[in-house]
């Protein structure tokens, strides 16, 4: 059964042990127990990760989803996890450019190996990729675990997959954060396990994989049998491990060998050496009559000798005889062959087996390193997976060496996290509360010391002493230890066994059995055995023993103890070159029970791992420290005063920087040379600020790069487009330098088009071009050519034309958008264009032609030509003024193009029939016109030159505005007066709407409100009309004008509303409609009333050149009256601060009965009041402005010159008009004094 980590990762216990309310050993154990029972195995102590082995898979805890979840996240953002620590390592490596190393410690069975594999998995997943070399390195990093574990791990009482060697893997990274190589260093392989295992334990995994997982052919070739039939496998009495399928593991091992570059022959050779060792262990000896060793079963020797590649007699002789060289240094010695006793023969057999396996394992590591490919990159990430501290019932020389290495690793932890940290606080003058802790340096010196002598030094001295018949070498060792170390506080003799001594390690007291210490330290391999292997016909085995034997050399081989000291020192040196990270693994129970927890066992590990002291130091200390110079250099980008460099002292720069980012002063202190930050959360905050800064900067850089890249691509396209048309077709001025925008209709914002593309299965196609074009057809009803607008979308696969088609919805016809044509791009074979400056394109499709008018035809033709080239197709582009266009019906239509020098419109005129069409085109630029070559630098220079002039003009305009604020009118002028009603009865027809009300001031004035509708009343007195100072008085009803409209029309009965203007440099009133709003209608009072006439309808103002539209019609209101006639057409108005003129007068009312007469034309302002006197102040006389001799214009929109003869103009400036031209391009003089052409619709005439 597995547990779902996602559902159980709620807040159980405390995520960080530094936050415990009571800090003691019991609280630590209780918190770990509570979290483990909730399937949460990871807990923090600051930056240190504590991992408890659950002895089972927890669902959802690992894998790609969790890797994605933890990538780029700080440790406080998500629950504790090994992925979080791995992410911090990789992030620090890539951003700070510092080598990183993780030290995974804990006793055997605590889960160190699995933790190391998870870190490798994460780093391999998140690091850079793409190239085959990078992917190869990643694969080797992961696959090497399977191979090394098969040959270096074994099942022990504490762990089913215990590492019996130390492994320090370094992964090298290039400057882009991608793995470029690596190296594996192996330490202290437990070679004694090859020949002996304790009860309940197994040999290395590979022996069981080969004997139980190999095929029958392989077993026959190697002479293999069941594991219980081999002496080197049956001593522990355990052959099967829970959760381990040897057949499957053997297959994985063979596949992993291929992944690290081993050939089939190399793999076979390695398996053959394993078989040699198994058969070698089955050679037994007995004592003959002379007391010498003799071989029990010669057939076993025969099989073993055949695998080794030597004669059987040679093997027997090497195992039962020993060659001794006599003679001193400098003298010719004598060679003597001596028979060995049974113990000596077994010693030689086991020594040969251990030597072959050890050297084969070293060769395997060489294969891994060769596959990783070590490079010269100095940036590395190291992962140390080494056997944990071991305390068995019988602890020998192997446990002594293993525990010594663990003492050295604990010393690193103490030096960096406890001792140096506190010493640094004192040196830096930081406020600090000292914490007591146990420094295990005294234990390390006890083992490796030279002055005074340590245990390993004394052991080497004893091994050099001649052997005695009275006292064994191991007994001499104990005597020497008592003599030199008897008074040491961490050394004592055992009272239960005279051959044992006790060392007080940081992890507790360990009792060692000294029997075998001296023999294992010497690690003798007789020359006879080396010569045996060197004489083998098995080349692989022969290559494992390359040493040259000098019979006269008196140099002794390096002892095992000396190698251990050297390897430990080298390991510590490599780790100290990196920024260390720590994972403390804990074995929660001794029976490997899933989620089982033993308080006593866990408490012991918490004590010797130093977790309590670590918590106390972390609570009282600072999580981060860095020299001033480096801190300012790394984080200086956050403050303008410290970036790019700070001119003051580095310490002052740190203070300026920390004050600028407003970090809590309680969270940091400045020492003598370093800055200290207390909590990790504060550091994460500063890191996040830096990442945001770099992210914003990166976006700016990307923006500039993408602009440059896009412009480069555009210039290439423009040049290509020019090459297609130059010398063949006249050009339009705006077309020559037009930018290729691709999507000209913003199709993604049109949900109907998007839905049609999705429903047609085209949503995944890359869109290359969109535009609104005209399809030119013929109207049989109107008997003339017509243009129908269509949206076209060109993708990588086809051209899609969108048009409207009628459908019936509930009996009513409605026009809906649909894809009218789908043209595969491969069927578009070419295009026909005229030689004139028109936009017509006749696309040649396989079975018919498609005639369209596209104002961005150059872009369309260029894209079609490029796609044809990519597909190795020919795109035929022809230029002629007479085109035969083939329709889908099969009929042809003749399209003729003629120049029209008299036309004042840019849009070509069309004349023709269903069979022929003539297009009259205004002359354009010469056919040899090419795009201008104004460089980016030139454009920027012009902008810099224009900037101060523009600023000066804007300042002058602002000052003028403050002195003489413009008269802002909030209304448009009223429409015409409504027609008079009939004279029948006592009432008169209602007038038009009243005068618009003034709006509240706004940056842009709106048009006035439309007037209320007039109302007819029964008069009580005769009407009197008196006009004085524009006053109108009457006893009945005033005749009012229509409400003032804005740029859209105002409505009489309600109110008109002006359209909001685009921002201008000076405030101005909203434009009124060119025509007034509709006239109000009379309200029914009696059956003889008639409605007033409608006001003229307004049309949109400049920058369009034409005037307003016709007025709307009056609306019928009552049964007795008829609507007024239409208003007149509004006049074109120059843009002014106030609203435009009103529309024409109202129409005449129709005769209703014999008593009614027609209403007369109307005109002035009106009021909707009755029996009241309304006064309107006389208009203020307008100040007389003398017209300048030279006409001027205000620039509404900026225009950038891109061709010779053009001139750039800047929005908001005032320019001189030199000459007007009907083509739409005027000759002007800009504010810099430059003269050239500019588009007239970008200007507004001032006089």
Cα gap 39→59, rounded to integer Å: 10
Using CB atoms within 10 A of its CB, is residue 1182 exposed (0-12), middle (13-18) or buried (19+)?
exposed
Task: State the catalytic residue, choosing from 31, 163, 304, 440.
Answer: 163
Please report, to the nearest 10 degrees, the dihedral formed by the alpha carbons of residues 954, 959, 962, 965 taken in order. -60
The annotation status of 112 as a binding-site residue, yes or no, is yes
For helices 205-213 and 246-259, what crossing angle results, to 10°? 110
The annotation status of 154 as a binding-site residue, yes or no, is no
Q: Give the DSSP letter string of 304-353.
A: HHHHHTS-HHHHHHHHHEEEEE---TTS---EEEEE--HHHHHHHHHHHH
Cα gap 399→413, rounded to integer Å: 21
**Which residue in this structure is represented by tokens 């409100």?**
1009
Task: State the catalytic residue, choosing from 149, 190, 246, 390.
Answer: 390
DSSP state of 806: E
The yes-or-no answer on residue 390 being catalytic is: yes
Task: State the catalytic residue, choosing from 84, 94, 108, 795.
Answer: 108
Using CB atoms within 10 A of its CB, is residue 27 exposed (0-12), middle (13-18) or buried (19+)?
middle
* CA atoms within a 13 Å half-sphere pointing along the CA-CB vector of 523: 21
Lookup: tokens for 47: 């930056």
Task: State the catalytic residue, choosing from 9, 43, 113, 1156.
Answer: 113
The yes-or-no answer on residue 113 being catalytic is: yes
Cα gap 1152→1160, rounded to integer Å: 15
Q: How far is CA 340 from CA 280, 323, 343, 438, 650, in A?
A: 17, 10, 8, 50, 75
Task: State the catalytic residue, choosing from 18, 127, 159, 358.
Answer: 159
Give Cβ neighbours of residue 555 (< 8 Å, ≥ 6 apart): none
Task: State the catalytic residue, choosing from 9, 75, 156, 162.
Answer: 162
The annotation status of 1093 as a binding-site residue, yes or no, is no
The annotation status of 114 as a binding-site residue, yes or no, is no
Cα gap 440→1177, rounded to integer Å: 103
How many CB atoms neighbour CB 1105 within 10 A? 9
The annotation status of 111 as a binding-site residue, yes or no, is yes
Asked, as a colleague might, if the bond just before 644 is cis with ω within 30 of 0, I would say yes
The annotation status of 932 as a binding-site residue, yes or no, is no
The yes-or-no answer on residue 673 being catalytic is: no
Cα gap 656→659, rounded to integer Å: 5
Distance of CA 999 to the CA centre of its chain: 52
* CA atoms within a 13 Å half-sphere pointing along the CA-CB vector of 509: 10
Cα gap 199→216, rounded to integer Å: 30
Q: How far is CA 298 from CA 311, 315, 412, 839, 1030, in A?
A: 12, 11, 54, 102, 142
Residue 250: helix, strand or coil by DSSP? helix
The yes-or-no answer on residue 108 being catalytic is: yes
Q: Give the DSSP letter string of 162-204.
A: EE-SEEEEEEEE-TTS-EEEEEEEEE---GGGGT---TT---B
Is residue 312 within 8 A of residue 301, CB to CB? The reply is: yes
Cα gap 885→778, rounded to integer Å: 14
**Which residue in this structure is represented by tokens 């390993």?**
456
Task: State the catalytic residue, choosing from 152, 388, 1005, 1045.
Answer: 388
How many CB atoms neighbour CB 787 within 10 A? 14
The yes-or-no answer on residue 451 being catalytic is: no
Handedness of CA 861, 863, 864, 869 (dihedral sign): positive
- Interstrand relation of 321-325 and 335-339 (parallel, antiparallel or unpaired): antiparallel
Cα gap 459→564, rounded to integer Å: 13
The yes-or-no answer on residue 1091 being catalytic is: no
DSSP state of 979: P
Beta bridge partners of 897: 919
Beta bridge partners of 675: 626, 670
**Which residue in this structure is represented by tokens 């918190």?**
31
Cα gap 1071→1140, rounded to integer Å: 6
End-to-end Cα distance, the chain: 90
DSSP state of 1157: -
Cα gap 477→826, rounded to integer Å: 91
Backbone angles phi, psi at 199, to 5 degrees: -65, 130
User: Active-site positions?
Assistant: 108-109, 113, 159, 162-163, 388, 390
Binding residues: 106-113
Report the binding-site residues for ATP. Answer: 106-113
């Amino acid at each position: 059964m597995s547990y779902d980590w996602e559902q159980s990762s709620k807040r159980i216990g405390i995520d960080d042990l530094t936050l415990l309310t009571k800090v003691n050993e019991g609280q630590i154990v209780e918190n770990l127990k509570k979290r483990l029972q909730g399937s949460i195995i990871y807990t923090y102590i600051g930056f240190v990760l504590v991992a408890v082995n659950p002895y089972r898979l927890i669902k959802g805890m690992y894998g790609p989803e969790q890797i994605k979840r933890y990538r780029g996240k700080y440790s406080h953002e998500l629950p504790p996890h090994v992925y979080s620590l791995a992410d911090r390592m990789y992030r620090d490596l890539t951003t700070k450019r510092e080598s990183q190393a993780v030290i995974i410690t804990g006793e055997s069975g605590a889960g160190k190996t699995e933790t190391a594999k998870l870190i490798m998995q994460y780093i391999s997943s998140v690091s850079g990729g793409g190239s085959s070399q990078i992917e190869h390195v990643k694969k080797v990093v992961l696959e090497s675990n399977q191979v090394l574990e098969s040959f270096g791990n074994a099942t022990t009482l504490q762990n089913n997959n215990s590492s019996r060697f130390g492994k320090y893997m370094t992964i090298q990274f290039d400057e882009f954060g991608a793995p470029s190589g690596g190296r594996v260093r192996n330490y202290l392989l437990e070679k004694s396990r090859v020949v002996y295992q304790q009860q309940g334990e197994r040999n290395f995994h590979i022996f069981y994989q080969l004997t139980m997982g190999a095929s029958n052919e392989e077993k026959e070739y190697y002479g293999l049998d069941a594991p219980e039939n081999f002496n080197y496998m049956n001593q522990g009495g355990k052959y099967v491990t829970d959760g381990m399928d040897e057949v499957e593991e053997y297959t994985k091992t063979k596949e992993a060998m291929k992944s690290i570059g081993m050939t089939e022959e190399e793999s076979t050779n390695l398996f053959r050496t394993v078989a040699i060792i198994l058969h070698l262990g089955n050679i037994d000896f007995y004592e003959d009559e002379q007391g010498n060793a003799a071989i029990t079963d010669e057939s076993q020797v025969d099989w073993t000798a055949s695998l080794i590649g030597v004669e059987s007699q040679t093997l027997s002789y090497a195992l039962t005889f020993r060659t001794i060289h006599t003679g001193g240094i400098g003298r010719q010695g004598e060679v003597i062959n001596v028979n060995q006793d049974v113990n000596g023969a077994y010693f030689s057999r086991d020594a040969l087996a251990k030597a072959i396996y050890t050297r084969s394992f070293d060769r395997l590591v060489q294969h891994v390193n060769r596959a990783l490919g070590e490079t010269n990159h100095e940036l590395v990430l190291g992962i140390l997976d080494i056997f944990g501290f071991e305390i068995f019932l019988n602890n020998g020389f192997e446990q002594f060496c293993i525990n010594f290495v663990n003492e050295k690793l604990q010393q690193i932890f103490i030096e960096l996290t406890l001792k140096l940290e506190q010493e640094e606080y004192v040196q830096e003058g930081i406020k600090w509360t000292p914490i007591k802790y146990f420094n295990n340096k005294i234990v390390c010196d006890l083992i490796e010391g030279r002055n005074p002598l340590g245990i390993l030094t004394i052991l080497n001295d004893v091994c050099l002493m001649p052997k005695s018949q009275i006292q064994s070498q191991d007994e001499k060792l104990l005597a020497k230890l008592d003599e030199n170390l008897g008074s040491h506080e961490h050394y004592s003799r055992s009272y239960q066994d005279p051959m044992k001594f006790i060392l007080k390690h940081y992890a507790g007291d360990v009792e060692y059995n000294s029997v075998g210490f001296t023999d294992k330290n010497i690690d003798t391999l007789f020359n006879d055995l080396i010569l045996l292997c060197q004489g083998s016909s098995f080349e692989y085995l022969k290559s494992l023993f390359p040493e040259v034997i000098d019979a006269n050399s008196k140099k002794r081989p390096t002892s095992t103890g000396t190698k251990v000291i050297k390897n430990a020192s080298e390991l510590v040196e490599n780790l100290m070159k990196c920024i260390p990270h720590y994972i403390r693994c804990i074995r929660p129970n001794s029976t490997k029970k899933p989620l089982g927890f033993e308080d006593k066992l866990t408490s012991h590990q918490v004590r010797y791992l130093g977790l309590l002291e670590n918590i106390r130091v972390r609570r009282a200390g600072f999580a981060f420290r860095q020299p001033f110079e480096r801190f300012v250099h790394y984080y200086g980008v956050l403050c303008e005063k410290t970036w790019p460099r700070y001119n003051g002292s580095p310490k002052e720069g740190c203070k300026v920087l920390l004050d600028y980012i407003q970090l809590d002063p309680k969270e940091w202190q400045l020492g003598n040379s370093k800055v200290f930050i207390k909590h990790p959360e504060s550091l994460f905050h500063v890191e996040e600020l830096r990442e945001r800064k770099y992210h914003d900067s990166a976006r700016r850089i990307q923006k500039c790069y993408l602009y440059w890249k896009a412009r480069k691509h555009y210039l290439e396209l423009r040049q290509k487009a020019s090459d297609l048309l130059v010398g063949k077709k006249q050009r339009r001025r705006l077309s020559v330098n037009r930018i290729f925008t691709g999507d000209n209709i913003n199709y993604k914002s049109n949900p109907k088009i998007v839905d049609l593309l999705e429903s047609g299965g085209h949503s995944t196609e890359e869109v290359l071009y969109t535009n609104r074009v005209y399809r030119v057809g013929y109207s049989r009803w109107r008997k003339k050519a017509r243009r129908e607008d269509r949206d076209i979308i060109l993708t990588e696969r086809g051209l899609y034309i969108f048009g409207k088609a009628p459908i019936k919805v509930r009996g009513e016809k409605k026009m809906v958008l649909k894809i009218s044509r789908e043209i595969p791009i491969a069927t578009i074979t070419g295009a026909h264009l005229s030689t004139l400056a028109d936009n017509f394109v006749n696309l040649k499709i396989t079975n018919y032609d498609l005639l369209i008018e596209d104002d961005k035809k150059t872009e369309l033709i260029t894209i079609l030509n490029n796609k044809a080239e990519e597909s190795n197709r020919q795109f035929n582009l022809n230029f002629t003024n007479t085109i035969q266009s083939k329709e889908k019906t099969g009929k042809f239509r003749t399209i003729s193009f003629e120049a029209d020098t008299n036309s004042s419109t840019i849009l070509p005129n069309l004349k023709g029939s269903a069979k022929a069409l003539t297009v009259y085109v205004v002359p354009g630029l010469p056919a040899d016109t090419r795009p201008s070559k104004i460089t980016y630098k030139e454009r920027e220079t012009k902008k810099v030159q224009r900037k101060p002039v523009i600023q000066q003009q804007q300042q002058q305009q602002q000052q003028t505005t403050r002195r003489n604020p413009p008269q802002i009118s909030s209304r448009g002028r009223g429409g015409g007066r409504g027609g008079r009603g009939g004279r029948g009865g006592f009432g008169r027809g209602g007038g038009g709407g009243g005068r618009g009300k003034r709006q509240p001031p706004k940056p842009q004035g709106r048009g006035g409100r439309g007037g209320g509708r007039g109302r007819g009343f029964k008069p009580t007195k005769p009407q009197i009309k008196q006009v004085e100072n524009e006053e109108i008085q009457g006893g009945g009803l005033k005749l009012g004008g229509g409400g003032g409209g804005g740029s859209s029309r105002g409505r009489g009965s309600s109110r008109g509303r002006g359209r909001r203007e685009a921002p201008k440099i000076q405030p101005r009133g909203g434009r009124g409609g060119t025509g007034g709003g509709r006239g109000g209608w009379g309200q029914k009072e009696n059956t003889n009333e008639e409605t007033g006439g409608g006001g003229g309808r307004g049309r949109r103002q400049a920058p369009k050149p034409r005037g307003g539209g016709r007025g709307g019609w009056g609306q019928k209101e009552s049964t007795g009256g008829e609507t007024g006639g239409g208003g007149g057409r509004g006049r074109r108005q120059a843009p002014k601060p106030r609203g435009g003129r009103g529309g024409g007068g109202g129409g005449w009312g129709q005769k209703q009965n014999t008593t009614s007469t027609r209403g007369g034309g109307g005109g002035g302002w009106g009021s909707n009041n009755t029996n009241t006197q309304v006064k309107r102040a006389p208009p203020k006389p307008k100040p007389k402005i003398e017209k300048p001799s030279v006409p001027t214009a205000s620039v509404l929109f900026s225009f950038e010159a891109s061709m010779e003869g053009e001139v750039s103009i800047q929005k908001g400036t005032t320019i001189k008009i030199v000459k007007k031209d009907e083509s739409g391009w005027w000759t002007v003089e800009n504010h810099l004094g430059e003269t050239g052409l500019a588009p007239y619709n970008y200007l507004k005439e001032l006089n």
